[in-house]
Structure 1
């Protein structure tokens, strides 16, 4: 029996290219919700064909109410809504493998809708001195829980970047980055074929490696500490975030902190970006 978690973001799904596509409440977002759901359903179908016994989908984008529940494959379950303790990785404690669907590159990097948590503000993110993005951070949480990343989907640059933090994972590029707001996109029917095929192959490869159900005791935070560094485009954002306990200033526009494990680091990072977002003003973000 293999339980799979799908952490579903939106910037990296089929057809998405501009901010309105992922901004809840816009006409473009409403148009893209079926495409997001279509990508998810293609992966669910492939995972089940590959031997998954249970598929849990965590709606992980922004308000975390983007997927169309009534259109989700009925063989899966959907975790929807905000304020989940582990955010994008909620459900990792009940999974044997995880899929990062619709992911994107990080702040300051090339890629369709590249960013790290905030659309504007952060310009660079590093974990343990290495360039990082949401995928790397979430992969550390998965590793801490003893769960391998088996599939990553997004644009071509996201798939390339994932080689650094999920080298054994299968990848599906549903679009090719032209600029931050333009891409060569596959039609949904074609991307669905690729997503289903690679999800099936990912589960079979997972089984072939002997990565069965997690062993008893897996899922507790490790004692491996991590240092997170985040640079902003303006000094006042670093000043605001510097008020967060454990956070230190790291230059005029930067902050840094060290946490005892990846889960704690990710939670602290979420606090930092929330404070930075609250410190922004219209027109002078």
Structure 2
């Protein structure tokens, strides 16, 4: 049994504000062991449950945040940027039985600690076939296209609630309770590690590949906080304006949809000017 862990940082134990997750800051350095603890707890739980292989795909910012030296020696770490499927890289190879979303968060325009979708700001909402979508839903749809179920989700309490919409059978662990976008009631790392490990062990029973879900076409709509960002995004083929600050595109597969979304966010990031966005 092979498990893929998609590891994001905003939903990690103790993380509550931008300084905790911005590479190079003192708080980021402080929170890296907390993030690594959550991920390692999931690794240990999956191995407890009978997994033969656990691969971790770093999915946050520079994708170079986890401390390899603190991970269980039986795990493998995919670290670094520029990957075909970004946050769920590896799910496409036909050998993954289940995927875990560790350290996840809610989407742009919704309540949740450090809520956003791909970009820390600029995007105020994303919709997939009319449903508001955060990274959890988008990545779950990609995984489903390859027959891989989401078996575990960790993050704040609202992230766990959100997961009921795209992975209702998955085990879920809330490591903190949302108070505001930059505040939460946090559990201690020893407590969250124990809870994540137990949930991951239980989640191995859900790691059963299924027939690929071909649910296309997929229409994605993205709303930005400034009109010039929508205009900039239209340089991507198939992307068109659907409003003053909105763009839309339709893809036959989620593979194409998520790669177009990545292209849109890359272009939009380059169009953001200091202070004014």
Shared fold (TM-score, shorter chain, > 0.5): yes
Alpha carbons of 1:166 and 1:223: their partners in 2 closer, same or farther (altered >3 Å)?
closer
> What is the SS of the residue equivalent to 1:55?
strand
Uncovered stretches (5+) of structure 1, i.e. residues with no partner: none
The answer to whether 1:43 aligns with 2:42 is yes
Give the distance between the partners of 1:200 and 1:160, measured in 2 at CA.
21
Q: Deviations over 1:25-54 (max 9, x none)?
A: 000000010001100111111101111111
Helix, strand or coil at the partner of 1:250: strand
Gaps of 5+ in 2: none
TM-score by length of 1: 0.94
**Alignment match, 2:125:** 124
2: CA distance, partners of 1:75 / 1:129: 41
Partner of 1:173: 174
1:255 is aligned, of 247, 255, 259, to: 247
Equivalent residue, structure 2, for 1:100 = 101
Alignment of 1:53-68 (within 5 A): 53-68=52-67
1:85-143 Cα offsets, whole Å, 9 max, x none, are 11111111231100000000011000000001111111111000001001100000110
Shift of 1:242: 1.5
Please, which of 241, 256, 271 is the counterpart of residue 279 of structure 1?
271
Aligned counterpart, 1:145: 146
1:224 deviates by 2.0
Secondary structure of the residue that 2:74 maps to in structure 1?
A: coil
Q: In the TM superposition, what is the alpha-carbon distance from 1:279 to its structure 2 partner?
A: 0.6
Deviation, 1:223, is: 6.8
Structure 1 residue 232 corresponds to structure 2 residue 233: no
After TM superposition, what 4+ stretches of structure 1 lie above 6 angstroms from structure 2?
A: none
What secondary structure sits across from 1:118 in the alignment? Answer: coil
Q: Which structure 2 residues correspond to residues 191-270 of structure 1 after superposition, within 5 A?
A: 191-204=192-205, 206=206, 211=208, 214=209, 222=214, 224-270=216-262
> How far, CA to CA, are the matches of 1:170 and 1:71 in structure 2?
24
For 2:187 and 2:6, how far apart are their aligned partners in 1? 21
Corresponding residue of 2:112: 111
Q: Secondary structure of 2:162's match?
A: helix
Structure-2 separation of matches of 1:264 and 1:126? 16
Q: Residue 72 of structure 1: CA displacement?
A: 1.0
Shift of residue 225 of structure 1?
Answer: 1.4
- Matched with 1:182 is 183
SS of equivalent residue, structure 2 residue 243: coil
